[in-house]
Structure 1
């Protein structure tokens, strides 16, 4: 049996197990979709689109659709640590709810400070009860970095005065899987920027369990919901990259799929914001775009119901899905220059002055001609 066939059978068995569990929602997903003007056909189109995004063959779209309808069988605990709540906002702030946001609303959300009505002791009891009643079954999502200095004293939560460090470690111990939502939870984010007085760290650094990192400030709702769908379908983690990010979402550089890539190859660059080149949609590399060093699917999935993303809107990528981006990617509006990033010698803006070789990782070799032609070199800096 080939790999995909085995995975398909695993998914079928997993969904059959979920079907035997009681529903945690009074209203079926299809009714919620219909109330929001989303037809069955549109739902199936979404299922096919999500299947393609997850890098699965199209026959898996039926499993994706079924997993979405059974999402209310999977308990989800969502903790907030040191963060701005932007990741939650990315998921729920939509003028017109789409399938992804409605599916997230359909999940059995046991605890989420931004969305739940409970507060104080009742909220704390709900959290403790969920961890106790669904031990080994619930999916844990964490938003925000975890302060660790002084025993985690820089972040205390709830009426019981527990530290964020304590809450994450306790919840992680009983979780079936753990997802770090956003760059803060994944790698520490801006809270971990130098000098990092609170000792902020990503979730993976404070627990002894595998963690899925969804880098991005914020990550797209598609990446969040897609990861949930994968776990619901298969009950396990997807294929991950070096930084434990799902390969289906973070397997390609922003630069490779950018709509301005053709202008880069042609040596056509914006020289300053608001100039004619900017009006013509030229490449933003000379304005500090970090697309060549950043792995994410922003150009494909975009934000705000697939409306736009920073580069399309006119500002360069700042590399927010990468570890230590706040320190490593600064200044955000200047090219990085020759800088070592995670073992890759990123020489995008000096390639015209060096010998093409392994040091050219990060920029397509076919772009070199425009640099040698004098369209861009070190003197432009």
Structure 2
């Protein structure tokens, strides 16, 4: 791909500097970075350093690529493809056959030890990997070759991260995740980040790439190698139906009165209480909605083995539920409110809320009304809004 920096690109496409700064601010917020990180992100992205990227697709459905192309706010996908050099991608590349493979090998030779390797889809490992091949070679063999000189590996989607649908019992192809193959010594061990989901959120993909381009390292990860900024909380914690769960108002059947009124979907098999993802914060289709908000129970698709754990309409055991309870004491309410403020508000407002311009008692009212466009993406329950107000009051 022809080399060109982001600064030149945004000028050519008539993307304003204001829009570009908003993009960088959004990426910082997605990654739970402090406001001080925004200038660093702007500077790095404008330098036009375009790392080479090889994207390998194995046992998958192309949903992860579809998710990537639906990044937004504004034209994130266009910006990404300009500040990254996407040298190899089955679905998006123009070349085919020998020309495509020659491009991959040339990138590996020219940028050995520097290129980013993105993998989506699980890797069949049974019977020497014969169940899926490309260019006459098994997926396992191609991955082994590409991983050897990669700087980092990003496993996009639940199939690459945990095995996904292809690894569901009885797993006839012996489908494995990237990490499992590393643990077995079948491919080189490299810095790895998992971005599970079926598919993952568009901003999870673009956010991790922006973080690596800015800081030269992967973001902070949990014990499953997922970015904490995206997967640190459960779907249940941020669910707009959360208050109905606490009030024990549940939809019993699809289309019944409770379902039409937006009540909790727990009894319909919702896995939100044990699923870590930011669906309710960043949503889908340019922030329009999420599956649970649209009336479908969470399948738990960003957790290991979700398919075999009854992702479709099998209720959780009561003791498996993990959620943030209602604060019973004033101190607990203030601490819970502080966490809400630091998780969501400090990217636009000061980390010190003592100078907050809006009267604390009015903050829950403003957020409930949805009159401020920048706040419409926040889906707090009534209880969460109340404890946020209590925290802000305590700081005055």
What TM-score, normalized to structure 1?
Answer: 0.80
Say whether 1:200 aligns with 2:175: yes
Say whether 1:305 aligns with 2:286: yes
Deviation (angstroms), 1:33: 4.0
* Whole-angstrom CA distance in 1 between matches of 2:161 and 2:265: 27
Residue of structure 2 aligned with 1:58, choices 35, 52, 66: 35
Residue of structure 2 aligned with 1:215, choices 183, 196, 199: 196
Where do 5+ consecutive residues of structure 2 fail to align?
182-186, 329-396
Partner of 2:332: none
Residue of structure 1 aligned with 2:118, choices 124, 136, 141: 141
* Whole-angstrom CA distance in 2 between matches of 1:50 and 1:32: 18
- Counting matched residue pairs gives 321
Q: Deviations over 1:272-295 (max 9, x none)?
A: 111222222111111111000000
* Whole-angstrom CA distance in 2 between matches of 1:265 and 1:317: 18
- 1:72/1:108 contact within 8 Å kept: no
* Whole-angstrom CA distance in 1 between matches of 2:170 and 2:276: 26
* Whole-angstrom CA distance in 2 between matches of 1:49 and 1:280: 32
Partner of 1:270: 251
Q: Deviations over 1:15-60 (max 9, x none)?
A: xxxxxxxxx6455434544666643212212211211221111011
Partner of 2:63: 86
* Whole-angstrom CA distance in 2 between matches of 1:225 and 1:58: 18
Say whether 1:191 aligns with 2:151: no
Partner of 1:101: 77
* Whole-angstrom CA distance in 2 between matches of 1:133 and 1:34: 29
What TM-score, normalized to structure 2?
Answer: 0.77
Partner of 2:333: none
Say whether 1:169 aligns with 2:144: yes
Q: Assess, with a 3 A threshold, how the Cα gap between structure 1 residues 120 and 331 changes in structure 2: closer, same or farther.
A: closer
Deviation (angstroms), 1:366: 3.3
Partner of 1:157: 134
Deviation (angstroms), 1:68: 3.2
Q: Assess, with a 3 A threshold, how the Cα gap between structure 1 residues 97 and 48 changes in structure 2: closer, same or farther.
A: closer
Residue of structure 2 aligned with 1:332, choices 297, 312, 318: 312
- 2:194/2:226 contact within 8 Å kept: yes
* Whole-angstrom CA distance in 2 between matches of 1:226 and 1:134: 23
- 1:25/1:72 contact within 8 Å kept: no
Deviation (angstroms), 1:131: 0.7
* Whole-angstrom CA distance in 2 between matches of 1:26 and 1:134: 15
Deviation (angstroms), 1:70: 4.2
* Whole-angstrom CA distance in 2 between matches of 1:132 and 1:310: 43
- 1:90/1:218 contact within 8 Å kept: yes
